[in-house]
Amino acid sequence: MKIRRGQGGSDGWSAVSCSAMSPSAPATAQPGDAQPLADGWVVVVKSDCPTCSLVAGALQRLQRAPEPLQVVAQDHPIGFLDELGIPTALDHELLLSHRLEVDTVPTLLVRRGGDSVGRAVGWNRAEWRRLTGIEDLGEGLPEQRPGCGALNLQSPHAERLALLDRGGPLARSVEIGDEEDPIEACFRRGWSDGLPVVPPTAERVQRMLGGTRRDPAEVLARVAPDYGVCTVEKAAINAVMAGCLPEYLPIVLTAIEAACSEPFNWHGLAATTYFSGPVVVVNGPVASRIGMNSGVNALGQGNRANSTIGRALQLTLRNVGGVVPGGIDRATLGNPGKLSLCFTENEDWRDDPAAWGSLAAERGVEAGRSAVTLFAGEGPRGIVDQLSRTPESLAWSLAAGLRSVAHPKLVLGFDALLVLSPEHCRVIDQAGWSRARLRGELLERLQLPLAEIERGAGGCAEGVAKDRLPDPAPEKLPKLRPDALLLARAGGGAGLFSAVLGGWVGGSTGSIPVTRAVEELG
């Protein structure tokens, strides 16, 4: 067992990968290491394939022909072939099957001059006769039978062989003791977020990389504060640790790039004493394709994609960038969302979804494309309004909830993400309000009287310093900058509740939300 870390000593502990290759696999084996095949007929079979058993008589007939016959077994010696006196060669590591691009057994290959010049997949009597020139081949057998999937395309063999194709993992190895539990090893070495991680074996990482076309060596970003180099492979390693499936990887890669962009200011967010961490909002077809939750408990636990995508981002930022609580991470209290806070917006909630649009579309992503929006936010706080039946009344409730961001008497410093539930959305929809209309109404209601928010007002020392305002001082100040309020729709169909996710310091002195299109595999 080996634990892999990222390349380059100056990069810090950027990734971990446990290498648990097959014990019999030669460390330097390559697909081309298999002995060259002689010209003639080659038939690849495996022991548990009914069609391979079916063609035993045909193999016996081929053995009597003048042309050389080589039978290759993918797993272990096959008893019925021995009984028929048909010798078989064992493809122990499936390198030969991989090199021959066998995807189904049985496969008949005609070899000439070191190349395959003919191929029959499964059992097709007419095709086998045509390729071999033996007119009575398979007499008494059915005309056709499908074969079985070849072992070299099945996990974990497929991942091991793909690793050999690309020369093995790019990550370095760190030895752990034979008796050491790999999960505990990750805890002890500080590679966990406080919860158990999935040991990222080389095969698991290779399987994860199957979720993207991007080169494993491609550099996504240099991750602050250590500015470790984050490659696609390192992201995949951390996605394995987080419990992601390969189809989640394109979202994880996009989220990492967004987090490390200059406007988002991950370095500042990582080091702040404030509550906030990255909040991931996913839009577009990819969300439904991978089963993300936009409904009941959308901001909570229980959905694998929601939980692990956000966690993969956080683990990558930690393991590549070196952000450890009590070290660079100086959050006074933090929030549970720093483990993972990821959800998808419900875009199908009204008769005409285009009339409201999606968060991503509003931020410039073309319709039909999947996208990730990254927001520097804290945990959600609830807004309860079970009585408003007009959008005007509901807007006053929502504005009151937004006023609480950071402190009811602080203005212009912090952004906010408002997550609207379906029942509240219904009130807005029935009135025909657009996303832009609702935002405008909220911002208007968040023009706060200076007399209420200046320092000392209401017996509270916190608030706006009046002596720092222009003279004459304005009667009202806006709670939020015009572009500081994001709106998203999610949640279950029952419950007149919405939620505010307060942001970190907004604008050029803090973090600006970043939206990026997802580069999908499809």
Average pLDDT over residues 24-31: 32
Q: How confident is the model at residue 155, as a pLDDT?
A: 85
Single residue among 103, 126, 153 that ends a domain in this structure: 153
Average pLDDT over residues 222-246: 96
Distance of CA 318 to the CA centre of its chain: 16
Q: How many domains is the chain built from?
A: 2
φ, ψ for residue 197 (rounded to 5)? -110, 160
Helical pair 202-209 and 157-165, crossing angle rounded to 10 deg: 80
Q: Which are the contacts of 384, defined by CB distance < 8 A and separation ≥ 6?
A: 496, 497
Single residue among 153, 184, 211 that ends a domain in this structure: 153
For residues 269 and 140, membership in a common domain is answered with no
Distance CA(66)–CA(398), nearest Å, equals 86
CB 74 within 8 A of CB 48: no
Average pLDDT over residues 314-338: 94
Return the CATH number at 101.
Answer: 3.40.30.10
Distance CA(16)–CA(263), nearest Å, equals 29
For residues 141 and 199, membership in a common domain is answered with no
For residues 205 and 98, membership in a common domain is answered with no
Q: What is the 3-state secondary structure (H, E, C) of 255-286?
A: HHHHHCCCCCCHHHHHHCCCCCEEEEEEECHH
Query: Is 65 part of a structural domain of the chain?
Result: yes
Q: How confident is the model at residue 180, as a pLDDT?
A: 87
Q: How confident is the model at residue 35, as a pLDDT?
A: 56
Q: How confident is the model at residue 31, as a pLDDT?
A: 34
Q: How confident is the model at residue 259, as a pLDDT?
A: 98
Residues in the chain: 522
Average pLDDT over residues 315-336: 94
For residues 245 and 127, membership in a common domain is answered with no
For the cut 90, the answer to whether the pLDDT of residue 482 exceeds it is no
Q: What's the pLDDT band for 279 if we cut at 50, 70, 90?
A: very high
For the cut 80, the answer to whether the pLDDT of residue 175 exceeds it is no
Q: How confident is the model at residue 168, as a pLDDT?
A: 75
Q: How confident is the model at residue 388, as a pLDDT?
A: 97
For residues 489 and 368, membership in a common domain is answered with yes
Average pLDDT over residues 235-262: 98
pLDDT tens string 386-408: 999 999 999 999 999 999 999 99
Q: Which are the contacts of 297, defined by CB distance < 8 A and separation ≥ 6?
A: 303, 492
For the cut 70, the answer to whether the pLDDT of residue 47 exceeds it is yes
For residues 253 and 334, membership in a common domain is answered with yes
Query: Is 26 part of a structural domain of the chain?
Result: no
pLDDT tens string 84-130: 888 888 998 899 999 999 999 999 999 999 899 999 999 999 999 99
**Element of type H or E holding 378:** strand 371-384
**Element of type H or E holding 435:** helix 435-445
Average pLDDT over residues 52-75: 92
For residues 147 and 282, membership in a common domain is answered with no
pLDDT tens string 507-518: 888 999 999 999
Average pLDDT over residues 134-151: 94
Q: How confident is the model at residue 34, as a pLDDT?
A: 47
| Higher pLDDT pick, 10 / 460 | 460
Distance CA(429)–CA(435), nearest Å, equals 10
What are the DSSP calls for 119-177, one per residue? Answer: EEESEEHHHHHHHH--TTTTTTS-SEE--EE-GGGSTTHHHHHHHHHTTS-SSEEEE--
Secondary-structure breakdown of the chain: helix, strand, coil percentages, each rounded to the nearest 5: 35, 25, 45
For residues 149 and 198, membership in a common domain is answered with no
Query: Is 121 part of a structural domain of the chain?
Result: yes
79 is in which domain, residue-wise? 31-153
Which amino acid is located at 357 in the chain?
G
For residues 138 and 225, membership in a common domain is answered with no
For residues 233 and 96, membership in a common domain is answered with no
For the cut 50, the answer to whether the pLDDT of residue 26 exceeds it is no
Q: Which are the contacts of 421, defined by CB distance < 8 A and separation ≥ 6?
A: 489, 490, 491, 492, 495, 496, 497, 498, 499
Query: Is 248 part of a structural domain of the chain?
Result: yes
3-state SS class at 448? strand
For the cut 70, the answer to whether the pLDDT of residue 28 exceeds it is no
3-state SS class at 515? strand
Rounded to two decimals, the pTM is 0.81
For residues 148 and 211, membership in a common domain is answered with no
Query: Is 15 part of a structural domain of the chain?
Result: no
Query: Is 46 part of a structural domain of the chain?
Result: yes
Q: Which are the contacts of 10, defined by CB distance < 8 A and separation ≥ 6?
A: none
Average pLDDT over residues 46-65: 92
Single residue among 122, 153, 184 that ends a domain in this structure: 153
* Proportion of the chain above pLDDT 70, given as a percent: 91
Q: What's the pLDDT band for 176 if we cut at 50, 70, 90?
A: confident
Q: How confident is the model at residue 352, as a pLDDT?
A: 55
For the cut 70, the answer to whether the pLDDT of residue 351 exceeds it is no
Q: How confident is the model at residue 349, as a pLDDT?
A: 55
Q: What's the pLDDT band for 202 if we cut at 50, 70, 90?
A: confident
Query: Is 187 part of a structural domain of the chain?
Result: no
Query: Is 18 part of a structural domain of the chain?
Result: no
Beta pairing class for 228-231 and 277-283:
unpaired
Q: How confident is the model at residue 515, as a pLDDT?
A: 98
For residues 506 and 388, membership in a common domain is answered with yes
| Arithmetic mean of pLDDT over the chain | 89
CB 124 within 8 A of CB 107: no
Average pLDDT over residues 456-474: 93
Distance CA(231)–CA(158), nearest Å, equals 22
For the cut 50, the answer to whether the pLDDT of residue 7 exceeds it is no
Beta pairing class for 107-112 and 104-105:
unpaired
